[in-house]
Amino acid sequence: MKSDEHKAPSEPSPHVEIGKEVVALQTLYHELIKDEYNALHRLNQEKCELIQNNAQLAHKCAELEFERFQENMNSYLKDPNSLGSTIRYKDHRYMLWDEKTLGNISTDLKRKSELIDASFNNMLSDMKQVINNDLKNIKAYHERYYKMVNFDN
pLDDT, tens digit, for every residue of 26-85? 888 888 878 888 888 788 788 878 877 877 787 787 778 777 777 766 666 666 555 445
Quick: pLDDT tens for 101-141.
Answer: 666 767 777 777 777 777 777 777 877 787 778 778 777 87
Instruction: Provide the residue range defining the domain that includes 91.
Output: 24-108
Distance between CA atoms of residues 86 and 25, nearest Å: 76
Does a structural domain hold residue 52? yes
Does a structural domain hold residue 35? yes
Does a structural domain hold residue 127? no
Does a structural domain hold residue 34? yes
Does a structural domain hold residue 152? no
The structural domain count of the chain equals 1
Does a structural domain hold residue 97? yes
Put simply, whether the predicted model's pTM sits higher than 0.75 gets the answer no
Does a structural domain hold residue 145? no
